[in-house]
């Protein structure tokens, strides 16, 4: 289990780095692992991504939030080589990464997960995990023919995979085909598999959507451990409880652009962010009466909006 004090210290370190930073989009970070400049991606008439400048601090947990269709996933696609940007440049660890094919991006230590999960259906959960490991001797054709060359490494990988699976509550599914997992389990596998890569920067696209809250909570601990181990985490999430709980820094995107940056607490009270994204009621009330009140309020607001629309 995690060592609370240690995690806390890492968090403190991360927070310290962000302490006096300006809360404006594109603010430079003291030790950025990822620097993005003027990335643009258009689909026909639609500009899905138009990021002017953004940096991700090494060793931090950074959340990327924004309304649906803001371009978060598309942004990930550009950075990880799954799609070609129309313009722009970005560096990872100081190395220019535009035009680098997806597998090289992953090898250089920048690994992403997919929002719409990609389970390798007719491989077992364990094989899915093993595939994530890097530098496997047995993955070269000639070595593959001689099992003694890779047996030992395979055992190590398996061990590591088992640990992760246990954490992600997938150990019971170890030998089942990944195609037979439930929606939430696929999300879990997707994330666990990415962690097998041992990346420097892990980019998670809505890792917890559809994951049971109790499990989410325990997994957050794991993510914090990752930061402890020096990993940088950049994640997209719509669950504000989670964002608030683990992120050190939040970047907000809307309509393809970065509109705000800042620590979670500040961001969530930012007027524009509330407007574009959170809505008035993201701090969900717990009592029935409050809910009722809110309901009415929302209805009224909606109606007003509708009226406005129809009047236009």
Ligand X SMILES: Nc1ncnc2c1ncn2[C@@H]1O[C@H](COP(=O)(O)OP(=O)(O)OP(=O)(O)O)[C@@H](O)[C@H]1O
Site for another protein contains 293 (CB under 8 A): no
Euclidean distance between CA atoms 236 and 141, whole angstroms = 37
Site for ligand X contains 121 (CB under 6 A): no
Task: Name the segment binding ligand X (CB under 6 A); options: 70-78, 97-105, 134-142, 154-162.
Answer: 70-78
**99 touches, from ligand X, Mg ion, another protein, none (C-beta below 5 to 8 Å by class):** none
Residue showing tokens 């037979």: 180
Site for another protein contains 211 (CB under 8 A): yes
Residue showing tokens 């961001």: 267
> Least distance to ligand X from the beta carbon of 3, Å?
30
Number of residues that bind ligand X (CB under 6 A): 19
- Which residues within the stretch 48-107 sit at the binding site for another protein (CB under 8 A)? 66-70, 72-74, 76-77, 80-83, 101-104, 106-107
Is the C-alpha dihedral spanning 71, 77, 79, 84 positive or negative?
negative
Site for Mg ion contains 183 (CB under 5 A): yes
- Residue from 70, 79, 119, 231 touching ligand X (CB under 6 A): that is 70
Site for ligand X contains 184 (CB under 6 A): yes
| Three-state SS annotation for the chain | CCCHHHHHHHHHHHHHHHCCCCCCCCCCCCCEEEEEEEEEEEECCEEEEEEEEEEEECCCEEEEECCCCCCHHHHHHHHCCCCCCCEEEEEECCEECCCCCHHHHHHCCEEECCCCCCCCCCCEHHHHHHHHCCCCHHHCHHHHCCHHHHHHHHHHHHHHHHHHHHHCCCHHHCCCEHHHCCHHHHHHHHHHHHHHCCCCEEEEECCCCCCCHHHHHHHHHHHHHHHHCCCEEEEECCCHHHHHHHCCEEEEEECCEEEEEECHHHHHHCHHHHHHHHCCCCCCCCCHHHHHHHHHHHHHHHHHHHHHHHHC
> Least distance to ligand X from the beta carbon of 71, Å?
4
- Which residues within the stretch 116-135 sit at the binding site for another protein (CB under 8 A)? 116, 118-123, 127-128, 130-132, 134
Contact 67, 237 (CB under 8 A): no
**269 touches, from Mg ion, another protein, ligand X, none (C-beta below 5 to 8 Å by class):** none
Site for ligand X contains 185 (CB under 6 A): yes
> Least distance to ligand X from the beta carbon of 185, Å?
5
> Least distance to another protein from the beta carbon of 176, Å?
9
- Which residues within the stretch 152-171 sit at the binding site for another protein (CB under 8 A)? 154, 169
- Which residues within the stretch 209-268 sit at the binding site for Mg ion (CB under 5 A)? none
Site for ligand X contains 180 (CB under 6 A): yes
CB atoms within 10 A of CB 134: 14
- Residue from 25, 32, 59, 66 touching ligand X (CB under 6 A): that is 66
- Residue from 57, 60, 62, 73 touching Mg ion (CB under 5 A): that is 73
Site for another protein contains 173 (CB under 8 A): yes
Residues near ligand X, by CB under 6 A: 43, 46, 48, 66, 68-74, 115, 180-185, 210
The residues binding Mg ion (CB under 5 A) are: 73, 115, 182-183
């Amino acid at each position: 289990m995690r060592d609370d004090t240690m995690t806390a210290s890492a968090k403190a370190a991360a927070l310290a780095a962000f302490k006096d930073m300006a809360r404006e989009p594109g603010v430079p970070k003291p030790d950025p692992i990822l620097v993005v400049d003027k990335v643009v991606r258009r689909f026909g008439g639609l500009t899905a991504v138009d990021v002017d400048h953004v940096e991700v601090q090494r060793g931090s947990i950074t959340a990327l939030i924004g309304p649906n269709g803001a371009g978060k996933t598309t942004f990930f696609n550009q950075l990880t080589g799954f799609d070609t940007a129309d313009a722009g440049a970005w560096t990872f660890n100081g190395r220019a990464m535009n035009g680098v094919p997806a597998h090289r991006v992953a090898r250089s230590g920048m690994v992403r997960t997919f929002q719409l999960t990609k389970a390798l259906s007719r491989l077992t959960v364990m094989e899915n995990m093993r595939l994530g490991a890097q530098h496997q001797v047995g993955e070269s054709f000639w070595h593959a023919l001689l099992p003694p060359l890779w047996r030992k490494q395979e055992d190590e990988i398996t061990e590591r995979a088992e640990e992760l699976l246990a954490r992600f509550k997938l150990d019971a599914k170890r030998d089942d085909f990944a195609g037979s997992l439930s929606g939430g389990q696929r999300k879990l596998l997707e994330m666990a598999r990415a962690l097998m890569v041992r990346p420097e920067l892990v980019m998670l696209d809505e890792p917890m959507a559809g994951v049971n809250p109790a499990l989410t909570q325990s997994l957050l601990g794991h993510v914090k451990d990752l930061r402890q181990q020096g990993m940088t985490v950049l994640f997209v999430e719509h669950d504000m409880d989670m964002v608030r709980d683990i992120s050190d820094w939040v970047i907000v995107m809307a309509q393809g652009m970065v509109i705000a940056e800042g620590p979670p607490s500040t961001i969530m009270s930012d007027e524009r962010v509330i407007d574009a994204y959170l809505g008035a009621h993201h701090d969900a009330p717990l009592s029935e009466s409050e809910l009722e009140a809110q309901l009415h309020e929302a209805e009224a607001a909606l109606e007003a909006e509708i009226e406005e629309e129809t009047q236009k």
